[in-house]
């Protein structure tokens, strides 16, 4: 009668196999996630846009689950390690989380930056990864900066003492076009912004920035604009071309008095529209146009950045390069 095999005869083989299990699990985990080390100025939304090309609430929920070791993804610090599910992962299928953008995401800010929803109520402090909708407003205070990124990696950045309102942000589906076209409009009533507009699906988006006395329309370019307290506006183009348009009704207070007339007690009329001559200026790369407070433009001419404005330009150019560093 054959004898049964001695107990635990294959113990060494079993133990050896078990020793390899953690290594296999660790390797599969590393393959399923990409680890990024947080640098100064990084946010979860900024890194997500660099890696995936988009950011929204659904993707943020996936990132929170993958980074349970981070107490609050809205508050990350240089040196932190963030895990991003690889783009080709089967679960979750990240591309299915991408939706046509009707929002802008706050990917960076420093200093005192505030916002309000729908143009109503008080301005409150922002937090990183904030999603902004049409009719929302954002303002930067002393020594502050803010960066908004749209669905196609187009960028709006604000310098200190700026006030911006999002008035339109849609991806328009047109039956006669092979791909959707992004349409956006922003109102800059005060301050300085940097704009970089990218193509979407190789189609130029329509992005307008409205100033107190003019509108800048672009379809893929880099420029900056400054609106002073007296509404004088300066538009400087760095790449591409910008069509700056003016005219229509400009509102000014009217007294209705003739020269030398001394008024008696009377009701003061409110602002009245003054029709200006409609004009269009095409501003090429390395050119600027200055729109006076009366709404009249200069001819496009060359410019030179100096001192503080040069620092602002270089910072924006570096951010643009960094945003495109990894896809």
Per-residue pLDDT of the chain (327 residues; tens, 9 = 90+): 445 444 434 434 333 333 333 333 333 344 488 999 999 999 999 999 999 888 999 999 999 999 999 999 999 999 999 999 987 765 666 666 666 657 899 999 999 999 999 989 999 999 999 999 999 999 999 999 999 998 767 899 999 999 999 999 887 665 555 556 678 899 999 999 999 987 654 556 678 999 999 999 876 689 999 999 999 999 999 999 999 999 754 434 333 333 344 444 545 455 545 455 789 999 999 999 999 999 999 999 999 998 889 999 999 999 999 988 865
pLDDT at 262: 41
Spatial contact of 286 and 303, defined as CB atoms under 8 Å apart: yes
Spatial contact of 225 and 231, defined as CB atoms under 8 Å apart: no
pLDDT at 28: 39
- Residue 31 backbone phi and psi in degrees, to 5: -70, -30
Residues in contact with 161: Cβ distance below 8 Å, sequence separation at least 6, in sequence order: 140, 141, 142, 190, 191
DSSP 175: T
Token duo for residue 203: 């189609």
pLDDT at 53: 85
Contacts 24+ apart (CB under 8 A), 301-306: 303/236, 305/236
Spatial contact of 204 and 177, defined as CB atoms under 8 Å apart: no
Distance in angstroms (rounded) separating the CA atoms of residues 182 and 197 = 11
Question: Diameter of the chain by CA atoms?
Answer: 133
Sign of CA dihedral 254, 255, 257, 258: negative
Span between the terminal Cα atoms of the chain, in Å? 69
User: Is residue 164 packed enough to be buried (19+ CB in 10 Å), middle (13-18) or exposed (0-12)?
Assistant: buried
pTM above threshold 0.75: yes
Residue 67: Cβ within 10 Å count? 18
pLDDT at 10: 42
Domains observed in the chain: 13-97 (3.10.350.10), 104-255+269-323 (2.60.120.1440)
């Amino acid at each position: 009668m054959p004898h049964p095999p001695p107990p635990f005869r294959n113990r060494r083989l079993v133990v050896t196999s078990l020793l390899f299990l953690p290594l296999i699990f660790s390797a599969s985990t590393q393959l399923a996630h990409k680890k990024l080390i947080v640098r100064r100025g990084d946010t979860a939304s900024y890194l997500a846009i660099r890696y995936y090309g988009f950011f929204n609430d659904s993707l943020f929920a996936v990132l929170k689950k993958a980074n349970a070791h981070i107490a609050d993804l809205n508050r990350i610090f240089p040196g932190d390690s963030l895990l991003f599910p690889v783009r080709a992962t089967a679960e979750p299928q990240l591309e299915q989380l991408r939706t046509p953008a009707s929002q802008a995401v706050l990917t960076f800010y420093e200093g005192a930056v505030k916002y309000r929803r729908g143009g109503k109520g008080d301005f409150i402090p922002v937090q990183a990864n904030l999603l902004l909708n049409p009719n929302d407003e954002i303002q930067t205070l002393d020594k502050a900066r803010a960066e908004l990124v749209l669905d196609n990696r187009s960028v709006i950045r604000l310098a200190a003492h700026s006030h911006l309102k999002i008035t339109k942000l849609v991806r328009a589906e047109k039956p006669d076009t092979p791909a959707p076209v992004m349409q956006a409009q922003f109102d800059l009533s005060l301050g300085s912004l940097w704009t970089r507009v990218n193509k979407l699906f190789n189609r130029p988006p329509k992005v307008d920035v409205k100033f107190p006395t003019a509108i800048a329309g672009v379809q893929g370019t880099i420029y900056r604009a400054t609106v002073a307290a007296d509404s004088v506006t300066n538009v400087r183009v760095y790449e591409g071309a910008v069509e700056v348009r003016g005219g229509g009704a400009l509102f000014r207070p009217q007294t209705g008095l003739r020269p030398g007339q001394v008024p008696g007690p009377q009701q003061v009329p409110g602002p009245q529209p003054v029709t200006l001559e409609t004009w269009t200026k095409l501003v090429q790369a390395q050119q600027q146009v200055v729109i006076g407070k009366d709404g009249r433009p200069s001819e496009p001419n060359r410019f030179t950045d100096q001192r503080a404005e040069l620092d602002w330009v270089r910072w924006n150019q570096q951010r643009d390069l960094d945003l495109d560093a990894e896809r």
